[in-house]
Structure 1
Amino acid sequence: MKVDKIGRLAAGALAVALATASCASDRSGTDGLSAGGGSGGSGSSTGAKTFGTLPSPCGPGDAKGKTDQGVTDGAVTIGYGDDRGFTSAPGLSKEMGDAVGAMIDWCNGQGGINGRKIKGNQYDAAYMQAAKVVQESCKQDFMLVGQGFAMDEAAEQYRVGCKLPTVAGFTVGPNAAMGPMKYEAVPYPVDMLNIGGLRIAEKLFPDFKDRTDLLLSTSPAVSTGTSKVAGAMKEIGIKPLDCGVRLNDKGESSYMPFAEKIKKCGAGYLWSSDSPDPGQFSLLESIERAGAHPKYVFEATWYSTLVSKWNTSGAGDGLHVGMIFQPFENAGEVPAVKQYMDLVNAKKGKVALLGMQAASSFLLWAQSAQKCGSDLTRQCVVNELSKVHEWTGGGLHAPTDPGGNKPASCSLMVKLNKTEYQQVYPKDTGEFECGGDFVVKTDPKTWGAELNGDRISTKFLTGDVIKPQSS
């Protein structure tokens, strides 16, 4: 089965967004705040005092004033959305809009932000319309929050031009990822890479350095991600076997020749930055039929119900996935994960990793907005966001540095057995493994953007963008 080319481009772009497969600590994280009272695991959309370990930023208050675009005495209007209307991949990133919608209801049920109720304008960029929807947002929204547009690079000049800050769910384009007035709960900067998956694989498999190869692709987006991983491997002493397997982005008539190459090459481990699709599944099935038995160490896109439902035959057994997010299987031990799932399920939305990522970005925005009180301005929120240097979304993921646009330095690893994922490293469920060597600098040739001394993209930068101000 061949996959539509444009749909594969979208999947490749999202593979970049999800490639944050790293790391964390021996604790769930508190976002720099005490846990406070209330049940972090409550699935109720009203009355919650916490979200996981994070004290709720939502509640009643007496905030007043039309302080900025999208702000009135009684409401603050934000934009959010995804690419769900993309005809070649229906429902693309739908989980992101579903998550933010559920979080808005959760927050408004407690009184909003200092008493101002949140109004959400939901946008569908449908993959090709990102520039259009950002221009719409420029006219009416206070900020963009928790959105995920695969073609955000095409919209970045408009966002910067109208001085619209964002706490994005994810960014894909290099200039969007490094843009001014941009924060993310889970940053994926072009100049740094979390290699937690590689570091954990080294600990799990003593011969990983000597018997690993990279699965290559004709997809430009996937190739960019793979090049970064290859550079990181070189830096830590891993030399890929170079078995010569490069899969056509449009699909192959037969995957057996590639499986035979892998067998002949003697690869004990395979790394892929690609996303799961019927072609990838056919490759793994062919490898099994060829009598080869490598272990797969793939990126976070492979933590998916699409994969677990496919693996009834066991061809994907031995699949290991590095992640910086808590897997849904850990919901019993991680209250924030259960709370996210309960809130989205109550709205009959789609539960998925990118949804948790969007929920975390909403919480990051809400906490910063809450601290501004009545004086809710874009400048104030940007100031507050820039101060946040440890963030876990209440325990949804490993600690990141949104204020510094730096990735997590931790990871965990799950393994697929038939249709079930299970955390295998660290052994303690709900914990992360961290290390100073879990993040590496990337080759500037792979950046795709020119950065200034503050690590901000210069492509669309103007002199009047909103910059953090020290108090």
Structure 2
Amino acid sequence: MKPRKSATLFAALALSAALVSACATERGGDAGVPAAAGSGASTTTSKSDSNFGTLASPCGKGDAKGATEQGVSDTEIKIGFGDDRGYAQSPGLNKEMSDAVSAMIDWCNEQGGINGRKIVGTDYDAAMTQANTVMQEACRSQFMMVGHGFAMDATAEQTRVACNMAAVPGFTVSPDAASGPMSYQGVPFPVDYANGAAWFQMAQLHPDMLNDFDLVGSTMPAIITSLAKTRQMAEAAGFKLKDCGVTLNYQGEPSYVPFAEKYKQCGVKGLWTSRSPVPAEFNFFKAVDQVGLDAIVFGEATWYGNAAQTFNKESGVLNGLNADMTFQMLENADKVPAVRKYLDLVSAKGGKTALLGMQSTSSFLLWATAAKECGSTLTRQCMVTELSKIHQWDGGGLHAVTDPGKNMPAKCGLMTELQGGDYSQVYPRDTAQFQCDDKYLIHTDPATWGTTLDANRVSTKYLNPNVITPQV
């Protein structure tokens, strides 16, 4: 996701956000992707460009009326959003999320709001440690939380559920939030299913290396759990992973050379990392290069970003790195109208553009689509019901199709490759296209879930008789 130089607990929580979302990066508008390549950033909204990619705009004028719920009046809908940008050890953490929602609120209000009601947003800064305080404040005034992402959402989930704060997060981290009640995401990452597209696609790219990959081990519990799921996905794709017995201390090692040597002696030709592109990880791959181990580096979408790009532009150590994506690349903006729209809207407001920003944008559009359907009966009950009905969602083309209503991830992906300071799509070969297959959807081992699910696949930890459930 981005560098985190902090105490072990906070580092673990921050990393968990990256592991769960697999979409967070530091890739901003200054990271080799102009805000509006080929045209000026759009600063006005006309009827002809009110659509968001392939999605007809859910925003517009109307005559919806009624103080139907907390935060809803004849003229306004109050929603909360936010990130951890005030975290002292990583200033600006996930700021692209708030920048995206803020821009989307303006875009929607310029069209007339939702059925004529103006959206009034409150931008919360959880600063890593204040997620529960933020949620307590939201519970007193907001209709819903939309497009937010807090690394320590585990501390706020009980409060959210207790006050019936329905939510459409940009991402979730803790198992209970990822599969929580009254919560729907544009890009779901439930605890019990995973999108294994990356490993199936790597098998297509390197069919001769199915026995030559290993996972980079770690002392961090969050990574250990993630690697257990990763191993399951790799095996489903036909990989027989090596077990070289290498475990790296998450806080760093005095020298990574002995560990690199061990991988070399083990005969690996490919290394998967569940860590983010942070300095310690870069030092490890420097050691891999130093000992002459020419291995493919393979990781999640966190490795599609400015940190890896900058490091490799200077060193070349990560040439050939593969990072999997369920979102369109920012480089594909000229071929994907939704990506262009996102870049134009956020850049016009001076905001930061990055993958997590697109993730928040998708969730905002999902929320707005359901809110439009509720009209004058805009209540949390109506929102939960309408959101539960949405089973085909791609944010207007921002990402592969997901099923928010059932909290199911995509069954598609694309693979990127880094050479020097530039990323390109290497699988499938057709740029801006995803490869999809039902076999990519992997049912994960319950031992890795971190929570107990009920018959509706909802976390049972904070359930109570007053929880809002869909009425369909």
TM-score, normalized by the shorter chain, greater than 0.5: yes
Report the alpha carbon displacement of residue 353 of structure 1 after superposing the two structures with TM. Answer: 0.6
Report the alpha carbon displacement of residue 288 of structure 1 after superposing the two structures with TM. Answer: 1.2
Partner of residue 347, structure 1: 349
Partner of residue 432, structure 2: 430
Structure 1 residues 75-127: Cα deviation after superposition (integer angstroms, max 9, x where no partner): 10000000111112211111111110111011111111011110001111111
Report the alpha carbon displacement of residue 231 of structure 1 after superposing the two structures with TM. Answer: 2.3
Measure the CA separation in 2 of the matches of 1:118 and 1:325. Answer: 27
**Aligned CA distance change for structure 1 residues 3 and 378 (closer, same or farther; 3 Å):** closer
Measure the CA separation in 2 of the matches of 1:300 and 1:44. Answer: 30
From 320, 323, 335, the counterpart of 2:322: 320
Partner of residue 453, structure 1: 455
Q: Is the deviation greater in 419-428 or in 367-376?
A: 367-376
The alignment partner of 2:404 has SS state of coil
Instruction: Output the amino acid matched with 2:461.
Output: K
Q: Is the 8 A contact 1:45 1:107 kept in 2?
A: no
Q: Any stretches of 5+ residues in structure 2 without a counterpart?
A: 25-39
Q: Is the 8 A contact 2:17 2:172 kept in 1?
A: no
Partner of residue 364, structure 1: 366
From 390, 393, 401, the counterpart of 1:388: 390
The alignment partner of 2:438 has SS state of coil
Structure 1 residues 55-89: Cα deviation after superposition (integer angstroms, max 9, x where no partner): 00111111111111101111100000001111122
Map of 1:258-277 to 2, 5 A cutoff? Answer: 258-277=259-278
Partner of residue 28, structure 1: none
Structure 1 residues 388-427: Cα deviation after superposition (integer angstroms, max 9, x where no partner): 0010000000000000000000000000000000001111
The alignment partner of 1:97 has SS state of helix
**Aligned CA distance change for structure 1 residues 189 and 320 (closer, same or farther; 3 Å):** same
**Aligned CA distance change for structure 1 residues 347 and 10 (closer, same or farther; 3 Å):** farther
**Aligned CA distance change for structure 1 residues 93 and 10 (closer, same or farther; 3 Å):** farther
Q: Is the 8 A contact 1:330 1:430 kept in 2?
A: yes
Partner of residue 11, structure 2: 8
Map of 1:2-401 to 2, 5 A cutoff? Answer: 3-6=5-8, 8-19=11-22, 43-47=42-46, 48-312=49-313, 313-401=315-403
TM-score in terms of structure 2 length:
0.93
Q: Is the 8 A contact 2:211 2:240 kept in 1?
A: yes
Instruction: Output the amino acid matched with 1:118.
Output: I
Q: Is the 8 A contact 2:13 2:151 kept in 1?
A: yes
Report the alpha carbon displacement of residue 45 of structure 1 after superposing the two structures with TM. Answer: 4.9
Report the alpha carbon displacement of residue 262 of structure 1 after superposing the two structures with TM. Answer: 1.6
What is the number of residues matched between the two proteins?
451
The alignment partner of 2:394 has SS state of coil
Q: Is the 8 A contact 1:412 1:431 kept in 2?
A: yes
Q: Is the 8 A contact 1:2 1:279 kept in 2?
A: no
The alignment partner of 1:416 has SS state of strand
Partner of residue 32, structure 1: none
**Aligned CA distance change for structure 1 residues 252 and 445 (closer, same or farther; 3 Å):** same
**Aligned CA distance change for structure 1 residues 415 and 213 (closer, same or farther; 3 Å):** same
**Aligned CA distance change for structure 1 residues 251 and 3 (closer, same or farther; 3 Å):** farther
Structure 1 residues 143-162: Cα deviation after superposition (integer angstroms, max 9, x where no partner): 00000011111111111100
**Aligned CA distance change for structure 1 residues 2 and 381 (closer, same or farther; 3 Å):** closer
Q: Any stretches of 5+ residues in structure 1 without a counterpart?
A: 22-40
Q: Is the 8 A contact 1:299 1:323 kept in 2?
A: yes
TM-score in terms of structure 1 length:
0.93
The alignment partner of 1:424 has SS state of strand
Measure the CA separation in 1 of the matches of 2:223 and 2:364. Answer: 28
Instruction: Output the amino acid matched with 2:372.
Output: Q
Instruction: Output the amino acid matched with 2:59.
Output: C
Instruction: Output the amino acid matched with 1:15.
Output: A
Report the alpha carbon displacement of residue 140 of structure 1 after superposing the two structures with TM. Answer: 0.4
Q: Is the 8 A contact 2:4 2:89 kept in 1?
A: no
Report the alpha carbon displacement of residue 20 of structure 1 after superposing the two structures with TM. Answer: 6.5
Report the alpha carbon displacement of residue 232 of structure 1 after superposing the two structures with TM. Answer: 2.4
Measure the CA separation in 1 of the matches of 2:4 and 2:105. Answer: 39
The alignment partner of 2:439 has SS state of coil
Measure the CA separation in 2 of the matches of 1:221 and 1:409. Answer: 24
